[in-house]
Amino acid sequence: MSGGYDIRLRPAAMNSSSPGKPYAIACDRNREPILEVLRQCLPKRGRVLEVGSGTGQHAAYFSSAFPDLEWLPSDLQENLEGISHWQEEAGDNCLAPISVDLLSDSLKLPQADAIVCINTLHIVAWKGACQLFVAAGDVLAPGQGVYLYGPYRYADRPLESSNVQFDQWLKARDPVSGIRNFEDLTRVAQDQGFVLDTDVPMPANNRSLCFRRVAQQ
């Protein structure tokens, strides 16, 4: 997949005060609403794996907001250098970014106590969403969760006009991209032992979803 999991979908601007350090204004706009939900979804201690870290801004910000958590950013290999610029300025609990490709047939995630995936599943092919939950099921214990942020399509309501346009733009850019159906995503999660714990409306017609791993019968 070319371009990585760029959550902005347009080339990120470079910070003029730090050459090579990517910046996206969207990260500054959505970080506070996301933080409020993460306070309810994340464990008090442990390691959080962020899948699809994009510029790295969220990793730096959220690791600062959760000093008792280790924050492990990840993305495609070609995006790690930019993320490192943010990670190096963050606290010691923000770890060096690692390469994670959701489309890899050999996808394995490192051990974690929670997984965060922001504005990624509508970019990566549907296979990536499916593999995220398969891999998460291999590393998360019962009670631990996967947090997702982004736009979703619900069967019981019309898609917002802004998201209709966004979905069209996504598919014109790459046919494998597109706003995912909430019910399909929930079904995939359930197949891997996760249940929906949180569904919170967010600004700009986005949603925060948290799926919890349940004990195997």
94 in a domain, yes or no?
Answer: yes
Please give the torsion angle defined by the CA atoms of residues 24, 127, 114 and 64, in that order, rounded to the nearest 10 degrees: -10
- Residue 71's pLDDT is 99
pLDDT of 19 reads 63
Distance CA(12)–CA(215), nearest Å, equals 41
| pLDDT confidence of residue 217 | 53
Look up residue 151 and give its DSSP letter. -
pLDDT of residue 216: 73
Length of the chain: 217
Please state the φ and ψ torsions of residue 209, each to the nearest 5 degrees: -120, 135
Would 149 be classed as within a structural domain? yes
What is the domain range of residue 161? Answer: 13-213
According to DSSP, the residues that pair with 148 across neighbouring strands are 117, 209
User: What per-residue confidence (pLDDT) applies to 127?
Assistant: 98
How many domains in the chain? 1
Q: Is residue 113 part of a domain?
A: yes
Which residues, 6+ apart, have CB-to-CB distance to 164 below 8 Å? none
Q: Mean pLDDT per 10-residue run, the chain (217 residues)?
A: 40 53 95 98 99 98 98 98 96 98 98 99 98 98 98 98 98 98 99 98 98 86
CATH code at position 116:
3.40.50.150
* Contact of 62 with 86, CB cutoff 8 Å: no
Domain presence at residue 155: yes
In the chain, what is the straight-line distance between the N-terminal and C-terminal CA atoms, in Å? 37
Q: Is 111 contained in some domain?
A: yes
Instruction: Report the C-alpha gap between 115 and 125 in whole angstroms.
Output: 19
CA proximity to 112, closest of 62, 86, 74: 74
What is the Cα–Cα distance from 110 to 81, expressed in whole angstroms? 20
Q: Would you say residue 96 lies in a domain?
A: yes
